[in-house]
Amino acid sequence: MNILPTGPQIDGDPNFEQYFADLERWNFDIAYNAFYAFPMGDVLGTYQAQYRKFTRMARERGIPSCVQIQSVVAHLDDIPLSESQYYADNTCHVYEHFPGSGRKYHFASFASEIWLRFLKDLSTLFRDFDFDWVVFEEPMMRVDVPGTMDRFHERFRALYPGMVYPTRFSETVEYLTVQKAKRDILVEFYDQLSGHAKRAGFKKIGIMPWFFAPTFENTPAETWNSCCDIGRLTFLQNMDFVVVRMQPDNIYAQVMESSNGECVPELAHYECLAHQSGKPIIMVNNPSDEHSPEANREDSLIPLAFFTRYTLAATAAAPCGMSRHWYNQNRQADHAHMELMTHTNDMLRRLGTPAAEVAFVFSYSGISHAYPRAWRDVWKGYWNFAQQILEGGNFSFLTFYAESLAHHLQQNPQVRVVVLYEFMPIPPEEVAVLERWVREGGERRILCIGGRNGYRWDHAHGFETYRLRPPEMFSLCGVDVEEPVRIASLESTTKVEFVSNFVSDRVFSVMSFVNSATLCHPRFLPDAEVDVVYRTQCEGLPVVTRRRFGDGGEAWFVGVSLDGPVFTSPMRRIVRTLLGYEQEQRRQLVLESGHGIYHSLTKNGFFVVANTSKDRNQIKFSFPQSLWDAPNTRMIRALKSLWMEPWSVRLFRLLGPETRILDLEGCVQLQQIDEGESEVLIEGMFHREFRLLTNSPVLSVSGPEQLRYVPSRKFRKHFVTDMALPEARDVRVLLQFG
């Protein structure tokens, strides 16, 4: 599902032909054009013929065409400043996006009916230009507290007529209510816009959210919080796929934040995983530097080593595709960059979505607070957890979002451990969703982590009211959430003792020293039937507890901080224990891996592994694996370990006793492979010509009427079945085997 973005300024037939030639030779799948807040006069005039020619040439080649619509930046000649996002002092940001052009732009308000109507009309126009797909670009709030001249203020007064309107960043009920209203209005805006696009006839609709990781780019200076709820936007009824906004130059120019200072290209792996919800995602990539001061040079390529690490790290997070920007800059100098992308692009088409068994719940409510921890401080807890799991943990995790949990759980039935963090609250109705989920599965686990009181969903127990209480979600562990937690220890290192009757509960090392800035001791409900697993050695206070749900799963409480100067708490070991890996009740796929190794196992059975290090590295499997080496079309049996060359990526399909499918070539995006005893269902989008590789011959093929196929033929030690469609399209194909 690789996209090749360009603009309507393509000049002359040779350049049009070159675009489509590059699309094919670099393994891109979707002809992708853009509207970046151009004056409407240009769209209806000069650019109209260009857009129409673009879609016509795509259709002649049997590939979809997609238009990306900038949906927050407005051209001043088309949208007046009355519809802008206003700061608290009633000023707004007006600028020249294209320096020297004289054209003025501003950030439009998502509470503006005029702006919504403009984008609806624009969507209809691009559908008339014959675009098949549409992507709405960069939903974000640039201002923290909108001014009274912002259309948002009118909406807020109607929603909360008795509430005093805040004027600044503060830890008050009023301020937090404004942040919630901003998120709600933004989501409502795109719900209406995507619904209109579907009615207009677009076959697929995508969203390109603003960044997940903290960034100061186009975000409120006070908070860096864009109020762009990735979870709710992803699961809008008419949203089909997600484009991940980050690209290499954002990291290279240091506009992103990790948590440990320097931004490294491997941040792409984290950003990509944060969008993996179960719907297809496309990761933005580009060899040119468009961001830092060097960007104006003609040879402004991202250094190859940096670009390689970014591309490999992103590939290992299993997106369904990538992009690069197509224009004259660097097109004659980026051969090495594009050689790598051509290789990875082909891999991404069949991956599907990750089959991670762990999910961390992220909350936009939690990152909207001012005190005691704002967004960039709360981020550190997420980052520390993610690093422990991904850097040497040898398994991956997903990010679920509060207010979307039911969708996440439905899309990802393979998840066995859901992690809740004290500063990332969820609404009470989702506490009930999680309780039902854990009761229904004996191997399901909830892990609650907290060293203090954290944040509640309701705003009545805020920091400045001196009525702190633990998050409502901690009730899942039997915690009395109406009583504040107590700090058990403020020492940097605390000795705890193991008191459980089950050896399999041992989540700390034999020495049992816990390094954390705080340990908390909550009060438990008397009827919660909570088992103490670890307690402090001196005071005897419970630090790790377990609550069983009858024949269902368990909820664990670990009373440690996820950050602080001495944080080394073994989250990796705790999660491994809950998954059954520590006591070898279950075996994980990868047992050991070297520094710089990232990998994902997908629901389609593909295993993608990348070495982002300049050193040769090894991964060891927990048990011998039979694999299909996809790029090299060969079988590997009983593989115990794998050496990865420096800066390299490999793609395999895991083979079991019942596996029929070895690989599919010619995919645009492979949605699923459902393998039964004698039949296999394949769903996805395929090019005009695609090929099935199997370990036994296909006896019959059922699919759409236009599908044509050539009976299986033996090739070396496997079988090949060629199929054809009149154009690239979504299909369901049922295969019968002997």
| Residue 707 contacts residue 726 (beta carbons within 8 Å) | no
What pLDDT is attached to residue 664?
97
| Residue 416 contacts residue 444 (beta carbons within 8 Å) | yes
What pLDDT is attached to residue 143?
98
Measured from the Cβ of residue 603, the count of other Cβ atoms closer than 10 Å reads 21
**Assigned domain for 642 exists:** no
Query: Is 506 found in the same domain as 553?
Result: yes
What pLDDT is attached to residue 299?
67
728 vs 1, 65, 440, 724, CA distance in Å?
A: 11, 11, 41, 9
Place of tokens 């619509």: 69
**Assigned domain for 159 exists:** yes
Is 515's pLDDT higher than 80? Answer: no
**Assigned domain for 486 exists:** yes
What pLDDT is attached to residue 465?
65
Mean pLDDT of 138-144: 97
Indicate the pairing of strand 648-654 with strand 617-629.
antiparallel
Alpha carbons 709 and 691: distance in angstroms, whole number: 9
In the three-class reduction of DSSP (H, G, I as helix; E, B as strand; rest coil), residue 104 is classed as coil
Average the pLDDT over each of 325-339, 486-500, 521-535, 632-646 and give the range with the smallest value. 486-500
| Residue 442 contacts residue 403 (beta carbons within 8 Å) | no
- What are φ and ψ of residue 278, in 5° steps? 125, -20
pLDDT bin (cut points 50, 70, 90) of residue 602 is: very high
In the three-class reduction of DSSP (H, G, I as helix; E, B as strand; rest coil), residue 70 is classed as strand
The number of domains in the chain is 3
Query: Is 362 found in the same domain as 312?
Result: no
Query: Is 379 found in the same domain as 251?
Result: no
What pLDDT is attached to residue 586?
82
Longest dimension (CA), the chain: 80
Alpha carbons 324 and 341: distance in angstroms, whole number: 9
Query: Is 312 found in the same domain as 367?
Result: no
Place of tokens 């699919």: 703
pLDDT bin (cut points 50, 70, 90) of residue 293 is: low
Question: What pLDDT digit, counting tens, does each position of 679-694 carry?
Answer: 999 999 999 999 999 9
**Residue 188: partners with Cβ closer than 8 Å, 6 or more residues away:** none
Question: What pLDDT digit, counting tens, does each position of 432-469 carry?
Answer: 999 999 999 889 999 999 988 899 998 877 776 666 88
Better pLDDT: 580 or 244: 244
Query: Is 559 found in the same domain as 489?
Result: yes
Query: Is 554 found in the same domain as 475?
Result: yes
Residue that is last in its domain, among 523, 545, 579: 579
In the 8-state DSSP scheme, what is residue 215? B
Is 342's pLDDT higher than 70? Answer: yes
Overall pTM > 0.85: yes
**Assigned domain for 683 exists:** yes
What pLDDT is attached to residue 460?
76
Is 511's pLDDT higher than 70? Answer: no
The first and second tokens of residue 94, run together, are 């007006």
The first and second tokens of residue 206, run together, are 């995508």
Query: Is 306 found in the same domain as 191?
Result: yes
Average the pLDDT over each of 303-317, 322-336, 503-517, 617-631 and give the range with the smallest value. 503-517
Is 566's pLDDT higher than 60? Answer: no
Query: Is 510 found in the same domain as 373?
Result: yes
Total number of residues shown for the chain: 738
Instruction: Find the Cα–Cα–Cα–Cα dihedral 19, 25, 30, 35, rounded to 10°.
Output: -30
Residue that is last in its domain, among 271, 295, 322: 322
Alpha carbons 429 and 436: distance in angstroms, whole number: 11
Question: What pLDDT digit, counting tens, does each position of 665-676 carry?
Answer: 999 999 999 999
pLDDT bin (cut points 50, 70, 90) of residue 70 is: very high
Alpha carbons 672 and 693: distance in angstroms, whole number: 15
Alpha carbons 699 and 692: distance in angstroms, whole number: 13
What pLDDT is attached to residue 508?
75
Alpha carbons 11 and 13: distance in angstroms, whole number: 7
What pLDDT is attached to residue 610?
97
In the three-class reduction of DSSP (H, G, I as helix; E, B as strand; rest coil), residue 662 is classed as strand
- What are φ and ψ of residue 427, in 5° steps? -70, 155
Q: How many CA atoms lie within 13 A of 287 on its CB side?
A: 25
**Assigned domain for 712 exists:** yes
**Mean pLDDT rounded to a whole number for the chain:** 93
Alpha carbons 328 and 184: distance in angstroms, whole number: 40
Amino acid (1-letter code) at residue 528: A
Indicate the pairing of strand 513-515 with strand 606-611.
unpaired
What pLDDT is attached to residue 537?
84
pLDDT bin (cut points 50, 70, 90) of residue 490 is: low
> First-to-last CA distance in the chain?
32
Alpha carbons 395 and 588: distance in angstroms, whole number: 8
Residue that is last in its domain, among 305, 322, 339: 322
Query: Is 567 found in the same domain as 471?
Result: yes
Give the domain range for residue 387. 358-579
What pLDDT is attached to residue 568?
61
Is 582's pLDDT higher than 90? Answer: no
Q: The domain that contains 299 carries what CATH number? A: 3.20.20.80
**Assigned domain for 121 exists:** yes
Q: The domain that contains 564 carries what CATH number? A: 3.40.50.880
Average the pLDDT over each of 117-126, 475-484, 536-545 and give the range with the smallest value. 536-545
The first and second tokens of residue 231, run together, are 């979870």
Query: Is 190 found in the same domain as 120?
Result: yes
**Assigned domain for 189 exists:** yes
What pLDDT is attached to residue 567?
56
Query: Is 306 found in the same domain as 429?
Result: no
In the three-class reduction of DSSP (H, G, I as helix; E, B as strand; rest coil), residue 81 is classed as helix
Question: What pLDDT digit, counting tens, does each position of 400-417 carry?
Answer: 999 999 999 999 999 999
**Assigned domain for 489 exists:** yes
Query: Is 555 found in the same domain as 426?
Result: yes
Is 573's pLDDT higher than 90? Answer: no
Question: What pLDDT digit, counting tens, does each position of 526-547 carry?
Answer: 988 899 999 888 888 888 999 9
**Averaging pLDDT over each range in 328-332, 398-402, 486-490, which range is the top one?**
398-402
Alpha carbons 285 and 282: distance in angstroms, whole number: 9
